[in-house]
Chains A and B, each alone.
Chain A
Amino acid sequence: MLPELGHFALILALLLAALQAFFGLAGPALGRDRWLAAVVPATAGQAVMVAAAFGCLIASFVRFDFSVVYVAQNSNSALPLVYRIAAVWGAHEGSLLLWIVLLACWTIAVAFGISRLPPRFAARVLGVLGLVSFGFLLFTLATSNPFLRLDPAAADGRDLNPLLQDPALAMHPPLLYTGYVGFAVAFAFAVAAMLEGRLDQTWARWTRPWTLAAWAFLTVGIALGSWWAYYELGWGGYWFWDPVENASFMPWLVGTALVHSLAVTDKRGLFKSWTLLLAIIAFSLSLLGTFLVRSGVLVSVHSFAADPARGVFILAFLVIMIGGALSLYAWRAPLLRSAAGFEFASRESFLLFNNILLVIAAATVFGGTLAPLISDTLGLGTLSVGPQYFNPTFLLPMLPLIALAAIGVHSNWKRGRIRERSRPVIVTGLISLAVSLAVVFGYYAGRPGLAPVSIALGIWLVLSSLVDPIDRLRRRLSLPRAVLGMTLAHVAVGVFVVSVTAVESYTVERDVALARGETVQVGGFDFRFDGVDALHGPNYDGVHGVVQVARNGRSIATLQPEKRRYFVQQSVMTEAAIRSQAGRDLFVALGEDLGAGRWSLRIQVRPLINYIWLAALLMALGGLLAASDRRYRTARATAAEPIGAGQGSIA
């Protein structure tokens, strides 16, 4: 009964989304203001129906309803409750439904948030979001219905992929999708602004908090995925330039550019067309990411079942949405003229370079991600593009970006008076160079390469970002949340650069074969292997090794890396054991029984690796802090008054 209810709710949601899109877009276009009143009820109804469908699917999982195909494929009677719920988005159909649920959440938040904006504009925003939702609901119902029945019902389920039975992975898709989907809001604002011909700077101000929030969620989502890969995939990597990682990273890079470009459009009324374009591209890349993952055209750990029908559908959707938005853009472009100018070393210039470098970075990632696909389609051979390509090409635009950020935070709008502020720039630059050289040659002793440069740049960005806020505090000036958030995010980027450099340059890794009682020294630590013991879990068994770690003869940790065999799928999983210290992670993964009483072990000492994720968290926090700045709230109320007066409220 429940699955049928869920299916029915999805169909109703599709109809309501169609109404939402129709009234929201046709009402303002035909000048029928009375239609606008129907937009919010349709939106609310759609959200309720989507939530109901999602609830039905969760209930089917919780109640072990193996008469539903999707449940039978992704759950099992031995699966703990938490993972039964997480299993809802553990595969294609459910994760698509999650996409729709999160879009509905964003849409409801937007409906409340923009209730004081001009009604026609607000209706158009909701209309565009309705259109996106309609497309995804249609896709789900037509190709990926999660409520299909299995007749006769399965006696038991095939279990959730053991890799996904992990707390971080339960949270990773919802957060990542919240970010992905959030760019739909920026997209909807951009399209609404173009439809309306309202291409002054107000739309940028309205869009900013939403874009910041989406960006923050995407940041946390990506970081969580990376953290999960680090400890769960078992072999100590944290970023693989895997196509699906790239698919989430490209919208992030463009979204970062968008956040900065919106600042210029909001404050100075410049870069208008560029900002619109970025808003379109950011969401297009989110859709492209969905296409790449769901269609199975790219080989990846993440790809679910390949189904050509799905790929074609998403591709068509992609073409309609992006093509439509770009045509609209071409039509409206003549309206986009910026009157104001700016000097060479002004903040506008720095942000322009920020945008160019970020877009170049996104383009190189894009090229590397799609090259295998293109080469394969054209019959040029099957190739793969790995870190050897991505690392150098990504670094190329990124290092100048960090340097420009360190200088640019001191620049002023409009005027190129950076020379007056050269003192803090130079002083912090010299300090960071000294610290970096001391760390690289003193502490780590050698293997310099690019490390001194990028560590210096990271420290420089941290120090340079802090100068202005500290100065403000000292002079007892107010520190608005927008400034605080920006500072936090920039400091976090600096920390990120330093920690990634340390991990990439100074990780010590060894694969070893050890017998019981043997000791190996890695990175100044002694790892003694004390054999293996049996292991019993709720839905798996296996063995765990015992490894004693000591430094200078003093024991500091006992690590127990596990090798699990999950009953249902009979798959073997490596659970690495990690001891985090302030300055490094000690990482041990258990390989296999090599015979003759020896086991293979992978041992790593990775400096500062935890600061990578900490930095990502701080970036996101900075984004949310900035999004909550009062400026956006008060600005909204005043901006709505002159235009909104006299027309019926739609909230």
Chain B
Amino acid sequence: MTPRRRRLLLVIGILAGVGIAGVLALQAFRTNVMFFFDPTQVANGEAPAGERFRLGGMVEDGSVVRAPGSLEVRFVVTDFQRSVPVHYTGVLPDLFREGQGVVAHGRLGSDGVFTADEVLAKHDENYMPPEVSRSLKTPQPGTTAPPQG
């Protein structure tokens, strides 16, 4: 009986451990996953207020404004339908440029300004985040069409 019971205990212990790990992982998953929204969705109020999410689109031409000598920068992310102003303090990635795709992580303020704590522009010039290229449904004339990934 004893070895059998011991094995039973072992199996129960393992299952309990796996179960707890699963629950905790799901919990971590639920609270830490970030959703992606484009400016149109943000304008429609689909983005959760006060929660971190990812905003993606193109950096609008002529929108990048920087206080000279400061790390603070403001720019506008657009999907050519609607746009969202973004505020960021820090070092921008090498490929950050007007007219290029960008993904910003951060929160939307009540004033409608998105405060980013991280700005990503991908490493390849030809690369466009799929979410961004998908959200740019109708490229305007005069802008470059989303390059083939």
Q: In the bound complex, how far is the Cα of B72 from the Cα of A595, in angstroms?
A: 12
Residue on A with the closest CB to B71?
A513
Q: Which residues of A contact B8 (CB under 8 A)?
A: none
A424 within 8 A of B: no
Residues 145-186 of A at the B interface (beta carbon under 8 Å): 161, 163
Known: A341-B3, A367-B25, A389-B32. A384 touches B54 (CB 8 A): yes
CB of B10 closer than 8 Å to a CB of A:
yes
Q: Which of chain B's residues has its CB closest to A512's CB?
A: B71
Establish whether residues B54 and A595, one from each chain, have CB atoms under 8 Å apart when the complex forms: no
Contact call B66/A595, Cβ cutoff below 8 A: yes
A381 & B36 in contact (Cβ 8 Å cutoff): yes
Residues of chain B within 8 A of A392, CB atoms compared: 24, 28
Nearest CB on A from B74, distance (A)? 13
Q: Annotate B113-149 by CB proximity to A: 1 below 8 A, 0 otherwise.
A: 0000000001111000111000000000000000011
| B18 in the interface (beta carbon within 8 A) | yes
Per-position 1/0 for A206-235, Cβ under 8 A of B: 000000000000000000000000000111
Q: Report if B1 contacts A (CB, 8 A).
A: no
* Contacting pair A368 B68 (CB below 8 A): no
- Assuming the contacts A383-B33, A591-B92, A600-B91, asked whether A513 and B14 have C-beta atoms less than 8 A apart, the reply is no
Task: Tell me whether B17 is interfacial, beta carbon within 8 Å.
Answer: yes
* B70 interface contact, C-beta 8 A: yes
Question: Which of B34, B66, B129 is in CB contact (< 8 Å) with A383?
Answer: B34
Is B50 on the interface with A (CB-CB < 8 A)? no
Interface assignment of B45: CB less than 8 Å from any CB of chain A: no
What per-residue 1/0 map shows which CB atoms of B16-51 lie under 8 Å from chain A? 011001001100110111111000000000000000
A396-B24 in contact (CB<8A):
yes
How many of chain B's residues touch chain A, expressed as a range? 35 or more
Please judge, given known A-B contacts A356-B18, A383-B34, A597-B69, whether A393 and B123 are in contact too, CB under 8 Å.
no
* Contact indicator per residue, chain A 375-390, by CB within 8 Å of chain B (1) or not (0): 0000001111110110
Chain A 339-381 against B: per-residue CB contact (8 Å), 1 yes, 0 no?
0010010000100000010001000100110010000000001
Q: Chain A contacts of B3 at CB under 8 A?
A: 341
Residues of B within 8 A of A513 (CB): 69-71
Are A364 and B69 closer than 8 Å at their CB atoms? no
Q: Given the complex, which residues of B lie within 8 Å of A563, measured CB to CB?
A: 94
Checking B28, B31, B70, B95 against A571 with a beta-carbon cut-off of 8 angstroms, the contacting residue is B95
Complex interface bits, A283-311 against B, C-beta within 8 A gives 1, otherwise 0:
00000000000001001010001100000
Q: Does chain B have a CB within 8 A of A614? A: no
Residue B112 at the chain A interface, CB threshold 8 Å: no
Q: A344-B6, A344-B10 are in contact. Are A306 and B149 (CB under 8 A)?
A: yes
**Contact B28 A389, beta carbon cutoff 8 Å:** yes
Q: Give residues 56-70 of B contacting A (CB, 8 Å).
A: 66, 68-70
Question: B residues touching A (Cβ–Cβ < 8 Å)?
Answer: 3, 6, 10, 14, 17-18, 21, 24-25, 28-29, 31-36, 54, 66, 68-71, 89-95, 122-125, 129-131, 148-149
A interface residues (Cβ-Cβ under 8 A, vs B): 161, 163, 233-235, 296, 299, 301, 305-306, 341, 344, 349, 356, 360, 364, 367-368, 371, 381-386, 388-389, 392-393, 396-397, 511-513, 515, 563, 569-574, 589, 591-592, 594-598, 600-602
Task: Taking A385-B33, A594-B66 as given, write out 12 further A-B residue pairs in contact, using a Cβ cutoff of 8 Å, ordered by the A residue number.
Answer: A234-B94, A235-B91, A360-B17, A360-B18, A388-B28, A389-B28, A389-B32, A393-B25, A393-B29, A591-B91, A594-B70, A600-B91
